[in-house]
Amino acid sequence: MIKYLPIVQIVVAFFLMVFILLQQRGAALGSSFGGEGGFYTTRRGIQKKIFWVTIVFGFLFIALAILNLVL
């Protein structure tokens, strides 16, 4: 299990980067792909799910980093 921890952490880091890049302060998810939008709106629907998944992956990444240090 110990030899797989760095691989799992790299996979979690990749998905964390993807979810962070999908989030932007803008009109909607389309602003990530070139859409216009200069104001902040409340997160709804898929934006809210991406926000919470990002938080989960962030905590998972930190937990794996601490676990790698301890073991």
Domain that holds residue 8: 2-70
Determine the pLDDT at residue 71: 83
CA distance readout (Å), 17 to 2, 10, 20, 30, 37: 24, 11, 5, 18, 22
How many structural domains does the chain have? Answer: 1
Determine the pLDDT at residue 17: 94
Integer-rounded Cα radius of gyration of the chain: 15
pLDDT along the chain (71 residues), means of 10: 88 94 65 55 79 95 94 83
